[in-house]
Each structure stands twice: as structure tokens, then as C-alpha cells.
Homo-oligomer: A and B are copies of this chain.
Amino acid sequence: MGRSKADGGAGVRERILAAAGALFAEQGYDATSVQQVVDRAGVTKGGLYHYFGAKEDLLVELYRAVFGQRLAALEKILAQGRDPEWTLRAIIDDIVVGTAAMMTESAAVSRELAHMDSDRTQRLQADWRRYQEAVRGLIRDAQAAGVFAAVASPELVSWSIFGVTTTLHTWYRPDGPQSADQIARELADLVLTGLTARP
């Protein structure tokens, strides 16, 4: 069995992560056994535990892959210092398109995030809360400045946005009638029309 190079093209570590992401998205974290992951990745358990210390590390790594990009994009958007309407639209666009681009991994992470509470995941959840607080702050400031109407609290608005993206995997299909760009634009239109409508 000469399988040393040019196997699936990707490295073993990446194959394991991809298999884990797909299986977690399909069946859930707990319902997926380590054996299933290594079978799909075409390696053995020894191989997996060579690269990862525990099953939970797979989830953490997936989380980093998905969320690290979002956080980096957010800071880039905020750094531009543009008006609230443009900024919120850019955030919505990034989170929808970015989530759609890594659908399986995002689905796994958003579905399973809640039942991790070990020390390591604590930090990741803190990052996620920081992201949300940035969005809420943006809305709060714009409402205080009179740019956005106070139809709804910053909390409610931000949760509407995140609610759509965390449940995106239950209805979005890459080959469906609506593209990710379209969804992002519609969501931004709905939210921003609500926030900027004149009485």
C-alpha cells in the first residue's frame, strides 16, 4: 500500500478537519464518533490523536477557522471609520457571505457551540461576545446620534442579524434560488429600512 504522498492531495491534518466538519454538521458532535471521522478521512485513530489531543480540539479548531475570519473582517470594516449605515451593511454582508462560504464548518460550529464549556472554549465564546458587543455598540451610538431610529433596542437588532446567520444552515442551499449576496442584501435592506424609515 504505497500511500505516502499525493493521496487526497491535502495533508492528513486538513483531511481530518474537513471530515470532522462535515460529520459534525450532518450528525452533530456527540453523535459522531472518532472512528467515523478517521474512516472518512482515510486515516486511523492513531493518526488523529497524533495531531489532536482530544475530540473536542476538532471543534475548537473548526471554530477558529470559521470565526477567526469573521473577527478579522469586522476589525477591517470598523477601521474604515465610515458612517453607521455603510458599516452595518458591510458587517451583514461579510457575516452572511462568509458563513455561506464555509457552510458545513459553520453549521457544525453554530449548532454545537452551546454545549462546550471547557476552559479552552470559554475564550472563544468571549471573542464571539466581543463581536456582538461591537455590533450593538455601533447601533447604540447611531441611535443616540439620531442616525438610526429607536424602533428596536440594539440588542434585538443584533440578535436578528445573528439569528439569521446561525440558522442559515437549516435553509440556505448554495445551489438554491437565492445566492448568499442576495440574502445579505435583503437582510441589510430589511434591517436598515426598519432602522432608517421616516415616520
* A interface, CB within 8 angstroms of B: 26-31, 111-112, 114-115, 149, 151-153, 155-157, 159-160, 162-167, 170-171, 178, 183, 186-187, 189-191, 193-195, 197-198
Contacts and interface: CB of A to CB of B under 8 A. Distances in A.
Given A28-B30, A151-B193, A156-B164, 13 more contacts: A111-B114, A152-B190, A155-B171, A156-B186, A163-B165, A163-B167, A189-B194, A190-B191, A191-B194, A193-B197, A194-B194, A194-B197, A198-B198
A151 B19 CA distance: 39
B183 A156 contact: yes
Contacts of A167: 159, 162-163, 166-167
Q: What is the predominant secondary structure among interface residues of chain A facing chain B?
A: helix
A151 B190 CA distance: 6
A193 B157 CA distance: 13
A194 B28 CA distance: 35
A31 B166 contact: no
Contact of A163 (B111, B112, B156, B160): B160
A172 B162 CA distance: 14
A171 B198 CA distance: 30
A5 to B, nearest CB: 31
